[in-house]
Structure 1
């Protein structure tokens, strides 16, 4: 199984509990050979990270191999069109600002790739199905039958062990 990581998974880890200077093993583990084909993300996430600052930006630009960032394919584009149709359906009653934000986000491309390739999305976002002002990753995943998970259970499933 391949896990597709959302930008918040990287950003919160770097900022809150696995700062690259404190836990370099975590960052090496994410892109190491044992995790190749098990952990990935999309170019839109790379771009969002690159717009930040600090060690995470350097890691994403200079350390992560290109193969980590799954390219947009014709299947991804077809899945993106399905997501767009779903998000803009008047029956969902999302506010226009929420739709615009979603369609312009890396979340949109992350979910499209997961849908196209049958991958699991890993995110820190929490479902909010009643929200009309924000389209949340877990809610879109649920609507399309895409597996969605929080990071720490995924780390455990993948056998993350940080040692000194």
Structure 2
């Protein structure tokens, strides 16, 4: 069974642009159910990227039932993360570039652990970008990881509001 791993921007944009928690709770209930069914997960590092903020999304993510359902309970493989950084981005990244990249290597490394994992992001491919400006879909392609956008995820998992 495919496991979809969500980038932070999927959650942030879903709440901010399409499915505000207070206006379309059905989306968030569905996402919680997908987590409980082990269809959708958020790597811990990505979760940590979103939860320090204030607001409805952070509060929803901090709920015990949501955290239990959605957070991927695996420690990142440090060697795989380093491989993503060195071979995907560049072997000699400086501190500013590392800050620009953020937690993306952890997301990609989590997907590399098993072949049935798919990265879900709002980022668009930008093949001409180099070093820290590279986008998740391009790094995924480098490592043979399937990467889709959130709307493909919603279709594949049959999200609908009834």
TM-score with structure 2 setting the length: 0.86
| Distance in 2 separating the partners of 1:156 and 1:111 | 22
Q: CA deviation at 1:72?
A: 3.8
Q: CA deviation at 1:25?
A: 0.7
Contiguous gaps of at least 5 residues in structure 1: none
CA offset digits 1:6-61 (Å, max 9, x no partner)? 00000001001100011101001111168621101111111111122211011110
2:127 to 126, 129, 144: 129
Relative to its length, the structure with more strand (as a share) is: 2
2:62 aligned with 1:65: no
- Give the CA RMSD over aligned residues: 2.1
2:48 aligned with 1:47: yes
Contiguous gaps of at least 5 residues in structure 2: none
| Distance in 1 separating the partners of 2:34 and 2:69 | 12
User: 1:83/1:19 Cα in 2 relative to 1: closer, same or farther (>3 Å)?
Assistant: same
What secondary structure sits across from 1:41 in the alignment? Answer: strand
| Distance in 2 separating the partners of 1:4 and 1:60 | 15
Partner of 1:2: 3
TM-score with structure 1 setting the length: 0.85
| Distance in 2 separating the partners of 1:78 and 1:32 | 32
Q: CA deviation at 1:147?
A: 0.2
| Distance in 2 separating the partners of 1:148 and 1:21 | 29
